[in-house]
Structure 1
Amino acid sequence: MAETKIMLGNEAIARGAYEAGVKVSAAYPGTPSTEISENIVQYKEIYAEWSPNEKVAMEVAIGASISGVRAMASMKHVGVNVAADPLYTVSYIGSTGGLVLVAADDPGLYSSQNEQDTRCVARAAQVPVLEPSDSQEAKDFVKFAFDMSEKYDTPVIVRVTTRLSHSQGIVTLEERKEVEDKVYERNIRKNVMMPGNAKLRHLEVEKRTNNLIQDGCEFSINKVEMNDTKIGVITSGIPYQYVKEALPEASVLKLGIVHPLPRKLIEEFAAKVDTLYIVEELDPVIEEQVKSWGIKAIGKEIFTVQGEYSANLLRKAISGTTINLDPPPHGHGKGHGVAEQEAVQPETVNLDPPPQDIPARPPILCPGCPHRSVYSVLGKLKIHAAGDIGCYTLGAVAPLNVVDTTICMGASISSLHGMEKAKGKDYIKNWVAVIGDSTFMHTGINSLMNMAYNKGTGTVMILDNSTTGMTGHQDHAATGKTLQGEETPIISIPALCKAMGIQHVIEVNAFDLPELERVIKEETQRDEISVIITKSPCVLLSKAPVKVQYTTVPEKCKNCGLCLKPGCPAITKNENGVITINDTMCNGCGLCMSLCKFGAIEKVGE
């Protein structure tokens, strides 16, 4: 009997790669895709790495594919932007060994700066997209994608979303398929994308797309479920689960391939139902194409383009449409759209529980986080920060209120440079760019290089906490460990900065407030580039018990509030105005004691 296991969607994707015979996997951590690589690493048959960014990860996978083996790259949706350059071109080149990109979108913005839809990128790049709806399909679709990649000579995107990546389902395990390496053959016309070759390859891409439109109608990953034909729904991915819950009697066409669309299959399904709905999260990718074929359907006019869907959302939207869902009068054939009958008033359905008075819980930095110390000093000095992507983005919110901008990874340095070129040296003397060590290795290096090359000025603060903190403590090129946990040479961030010709590179302990304040005051006034590296590991990296903590001395407390300004969740003030430190949360960083001028906070322990 086959073994079954409950798996996260991301865990199932990793299993699918293993069973498909993948030999190379490259990724950059980014929620909701991170756990794919963290699970792949357990399969020793697969070489797996954290690449410095998604572009590099994509290129590593492309190189492996060209050499003749199956390869996969994994990233979140905004990472696809970083990887777009090689992705668009490898669409023309195609694949030798199977080549799959797993792209994890984030409807609802649980951990991202936008809600972009990877299907739109795939359409522009002319890369086919598969979309599973549960953990079992996540595994199976990855395997299907590799077979499809080799058959049609194309990279394939497997698109998932946060809900699938981080939900669990039962998965049937199978043996690994040992795929024989393809023989590498030098092929300049196919693999070298100079203009003359690219023009010819573009013709091949168009042929491939047409073949997929026709062949896709027979793909086993598409499923037609004919039930009550008064309502028909075209859907894919996680929204399929909501459709089955909200409309259990409806007929459903569940698409496994969402680009290019299997036109004939869709047309045949639409002709069999009275009223056709198209249910897809985010952009109307399927809807726009289906309507362009002259098929009447209801989509984004009742369904939102924002956030995640739910069964309740579908019930509400559909119950609110003024259509008659009764069978058409005798003699009327079934059409592609809403039956032309007298509208009926929708039934009022109250599906939400009564609102509760629940206090808001905004995200905050952990107790003992070195970023809090840095932002405390910047706030005291009334210095603005051009921010980046990472834990330190939380410096934008109360009570720290230091970070003024957040755009994308690596943009803090570039945007500060743009300000200086727009407004002059003096304008940015009360600004710094803040960036983490992992993000600096991702795309901050290029930004700092640009700043140096183009004779910029300004202060860059690299908040080095020795890990990729936001996504769960993954290693990177400056930590000295690979994804497999093996030791590797450490890229020295100070040496890297100095190699760019930057004369002022200073390392300082984030919790040494007097020294940190002195350095920031001095460096921000220079008419040159200055790099301040605050070298303090993330407090969660150490698994050892906390031996040093802090406690308050109430009789010395003047209620000045200085210890509360950094917003440490371990420090609270009760209704009587008494300051206390929660010993279950205190990590012993000492920031509060450094801020207290009256000796009202003391060290406890070694």
Structure 2
Amino acid sequence: MSGNEAIALGAWEAGVKVASGYPGTPSTEIMENLSGYEGVYTEWAPNEKVGLEVAIGASFGGARALATMKHVGVNVAADPLFTAAYTGVVGGLVLISADDPEMHSSQNEQDNRNYAFAAKLPMLEPSEPGEAKEMMKTAYQLSEELDTPVIVRITTRVAHVKGVVEEGEKLPPATECAVPEAPQKTVMLPALARQRRVVVEERMTRCMEMAETASFNRIEQGDTTKGYITAGVSYLYVKEAFPEAAVLKLGMCWPLPEKLIRKFADSVDELYIVEELDPFLENHIKAMGIECKGKEVIPNQGELNTDIVRHAIAPEKDRSLFESVELPNRPPNMCAGCPHRGIFFNLSRMKVFVSGDIGCYTLGFLPPLSAMDSCVCMGASVTIAHGMVKALGDEGHKKVVSVLGDSTFVHSGVTGLINSVYNNSGATTIILDNRITAMTGQQNNPTSGYSIKGEAAHELDIEGLCRAVGVKHIFVVNPHNVVETRKVLKEAVELEEPSVVISKAPCVLLPEMKERKPVSYFTNQENCVGCMSCIRLGCPAISWTSFKEGEAEAKGFKKKQKGVSKIDEILCNDCGQCASLCKFDAITRKEEK
């Protein structure tokens, strides 16, 4: 199983009854796999805050509950998380934080171990899939024994690596589900919160005592010349790089077992702390007065691997343990037929600042479209555009637009739009409605009309929602008709009041799009004049052949023509954007017989 598959199995075996989350790499597959198990309710939430609050509610009702999200999602969920540390739980409550060292699919590289420290919550950190599955069961036992939410932190490598996982028995529920009858525990008025604050400190003291003897914190005997303290996937790198060395493996990275750490430190001549990203373990171990080495040799950026660890600590040894493989570069690009391409093609030709957002469409930043000027976090496109309009003054609305997807709009763009209307911003908001959460793998969301299990659900009316919050000027366009869309965008930008343009066309990777009758466009090259309008779309199905000197005329083209374009009919997804731009009848739609 992959780590994510193992975590889903572990949650089911732990008796999880309710699970809620928001898709985000590298956490997405946990919910997708858990939704296939009997006896557990699963859902995609509009955002991570909602997902965690749903899990808290289920826990208050006595059920074991799970919330899943990637590392930046914990930023969104931090408000309820910090207070849930005070309320504690009834049924066990676990939050999965899937961190992303190296930023494989993220806008930052934060280390969420810091959340466990700040929120005063225990955190477990598995190193491989088999351990991840077992730690899920341990996490729920800890949660109920200590009356606390528990964070389980994984990283991209643990989430996606494959490992052997043994199936186990499903645990029985620890409590019956019922309406809670102890409001002094779940109503955090200041007077009651002060009482629970004492409980939090008492709980962390108990947790520290448990950490000293817990099986997931263990000393592995070996050569004591150099000893290593490590956790998570870094443990595997240490074991591969220095298989004979003594190691203290921490399965609980917060709170730390101080006595065990001191015992291990005293047993080795030189102590190294091997961890990805922040010197989290290192700082806390140094605060104990223990001499050790860490970030002066181990990089504090990016993902570690066995070679990096080995060379950092023992540069005299051979650098490469494994033969490297040269892979060809594959620049990221929107799919052939992506509806977002037509929008960004138009924006690249308008003199506007494009406040972007998180999704497939962030690729609109890359050449040849080069049509995005900022991208900060989910939903920030709308509010950043609003702020810029206010800063630029009277004509500001003509210079700034925001762009975000339908799932992102529901996640955290709605409140920004409410703010823009309430505070009379003239900015234009473009909502890219492709009916799915595409970037993380085509997960359903409130706009798609289907649940996580593919069952029919209420389909959010984006146009009606925008009208309800007070937007008077709403336009719906087919982005594949590039020319008509440009006219609408220009009209919207000129308006002095808030406006919304809804770009409505489905993602080409949706099953119903793949099942269509095969059709494509092809190039009538004899009509091509080499204007390159279609090439500037950046579609991977369209290629360009340059002519050498004298070659154009010899092939029957104009003497000064630089080349011709060609459509790969296999890659073409029948969007027609190129055809809507071509003025020379060089692009024709073809239907397969």
TM-score class, shorter-chain normalisation, is over 0.9
Offset from partner CA, 1:47-98 (integer Å, 9 cap, x none) = 0000100000000000010111100000000000000000000001111100
8 A Cα contact 1:214 1:264, kept in partner: no
Q: In the alignment, what sits opposite 2:543?
A: 572
Q: In the alignment, what sits opposite 1:340?
A: none
Offset from partner CA, 1:418-460 (integer Å, 9 cap, x none) = 1111122412313210010011011111111111112222100
The yes-or-no answer on 1:204 pairing with 2:199 is: yes
Q: Which amino acid aligns with 2:158?
A: L
The within-5 A match list for 1:174-323 is 174-182=168-176, 184-320=179-315
The yes-or-no answer on 1:532 pairing with 2:501 is: yes
Q: In the alignment, what sits opposite 1:335?
A: none
Which of 529, 544, 548 lines up with 1:558 in the alignment? 529
Deviation larger for 242-251 or 479-488: 479-488
Q: In the alignment, what sits opposite 1:516?
A: 485
SS at 1:403 equivalent: coil
SS at 2:163 equivalent: strand
8 A Cα contact 1:214 1:263, kept in partner: no
TM, length-normalised to structure 1: 0.92
8 A Cα contact 2:311 2:317, kept in partner: no
Q: Which amino acid aligns with 1:103?
A: S
Deviation larger for 270-279 or 590-599: 590-599
SS at 1:417 equivalent: helix
Quickly say closer, same or farther: Cα 1:535–1:185, change in 2 above 3 A.
closer
Give the Å deviation of 1:398.
0.5
SS at 2:115 equivalent: helix
Deviation larger for 194-203 or 459-468: 194-203
Which of 131, 135, 141 lines up with 2:135 in the alignment? 141
Matched positions, count:
574
Q: In the alignment, what sits opposite 1:73?
A: 67
8 A Cα contact 1:546 1:588, kept in partner: no
The yes-or-no answer on 1:605 pairing with 2:574 is: no
Which of 132, 147, 154 lines up with 2:148 in the alignment? 154
Quickly say closer, same or farther: Cα 1:448–1:242, change in 2 above 3 A.
same
Q: Distance in 2 between matches of 1:381 and 1:598?
A: 24
Q: In the alignment, what sits opposite 1:130?
A: 124
Give the Å deviation of 1:362.
1.8
Give the Å deviation of 1:350.
6.0
Q: In the alignment, what sits opposite 1:592?
A: 578
Give the Å deviation of 1:511.
1.1
The yes-or-no answer on 1:405 pairing with 2:400 is: no
Q: Distance in 2 between matches of 1:212 and 1:181?
A: 22
SS at 2:165 equivalent: strand
8 A Cα contact 2:21 2:67, kept in partner: yes
SS at 1:380 equivalent: coil
Quickly say closer, same or farther: Cα 1:185–1:552, change in 2 above 3 A.
closer
Give the Å deviation of 1:276.
0.8
Quickly say closer, same or farther: Cα 1:605–1:124, change in 2 above 3 A.
same
Deviation larger for 243-252 or 198-207: 198-207
Instruction: State the percentage of identical aligned residues.
Output: 50
Q: Distance in 1 between matches of 2:180 and 2:50?
A: 24
SS at 2:168 equivalent: coil
The within-5 A match list for 1:395-544 is 395-541=364-510, 542-544=513-515
SS at 2:398 equivalent: helix
TM, length-normalised to structure 2: 0.94
Give the Å deviation of 1:598.
1.5
SS at 2:243 equivalent: coil
The within-5 A match list for 1:156-175 is 156-175=150-169
Q: Distance in 1 between matches of 2:321 and 2:168?
A: 41
The yes-or-no answer on 1:361 pairing with 2:356 is: no
Q: Which amino acid aligns with 2:567?
A: I
SS at 2:16 equivalent: coil
Q: In the alignment, what sits opposite 1:343?
A: none
Offset from partner CA, 1:353-391 (integer Å, 9 cap, x none) = 7996x7642210000000001111112223331000001
The within-5 A match list for 1:85-104 is 85-104=79-98
SS at 1:158 equivalent: strand
Deviation larger for 567-576 or 208-217: 567-576
Q: In the alignment, what sits opposite 2:339?
A: 370
The yes-or-no answer on 1:35 pairing with 2:11 is: no
SS at 2:585 equivalent: coil
Q: Which amino acid aligns with 2:571?
A: M
Q: Which amino acid aligns with 1:213?
A: M
Q: Distance in 2 between matches of 1:62 and 1:353?
A: 48
8 A Cα contact 1:409 1:444, kept in partner: yes
Q: Distance in 2 between matches of 1:477 and 1:359?
A: 38
Q: Distance in 2 between matches of 1:141 and 1:297?
A: 28
Q: Which amino acid aligns with 2:7?
A: I
8 A Cα contact 1:425 1:457, kept in partner: no
8 A Cα contact 2:390 2:396, kept in partner: no
Q: In the alignment, what sits opposite 2:553?
A: none
SS at 2:267 equivalent: coil
Q: Distance in 1 between matches of 2:454 and 2:323?
A: 47
Q: Which amino acid aligns with 2:41?
A: Y
Q: In the alignment, what sits opposite 2:552?
A: none
Q: Distance in 2 between matches of 1:545 and 1:482?
A: 23
8 A Cα contact 2:406 2:434, kept in partner: yes
Q: Distance in 1 between matches of 2:356 and 2:470?
A: 24
Q: Distance in 1 between matches of 2:504 and 2:38?
A: 34
8 A Cα contact 2:425 2:498, kept in partner: yes
Q: In the alignment, what sits opposite 1:339?
A: none
8 A Cα contact 1:432 1:460, kept in partner: yes
Offset from partner CA, 1:106-127 (integer Å, 9 cap, x none) = 0010000000011011211111
Q: Distance in 2 between matches of 1:539 and 1:29?
A: 19
Deviation larger for 542-551 or 41-50: 542-551
Quickly say closer, same or farther: Cα 1:8–1:251, change in 2 above 3 A.
same
Offset from partner CA, 1:561-582 (integer Å, 9 cap, x none) = 1111011011112354342211
8 A Cα contact 2:339 2:505, kept in partner: yes
Q: Distance in 2 between matches of 1:359 and 1:397?
A: 19
SS at 2:39 equivalent: coil
Q: Distance in 1 between matches of 2:454 and 2:324?
A: 49
SS at 1:303 equivalent: coil
8 A Cα contact 1:212 1:262, kept in partner: no
Q: In the alignment, what sits opposite 1:56?
A: 50
The yes-or-no answer on 1:387 pairing with 2:356 is: yes
Q: RMSD between aligned alpha carbons?
A: 1.6
Q: Distance in 1 between matches of 2:339 and 2:219?
A: 54
Q: Distance in 2 between matches of 1:70 and 1:251?
A: 37
Q: In the alignment, what sits opposite 1:9?
A: 3
Q: Which amino acid aligns with 2:573?
A: N
For structure 2, the 5+ residue unaligned runs are 548-562
Offset from partner CA, 1:134-169 (integer Å, 9 cap, x none) = 111111001000000000011000000000111111
Q: Distance in 2 between matches of 1:184 and 1:504?
A: 45
Quickly say closer, same or farther: Cα 1:93–1:520, change in 2 above 3 A.
same
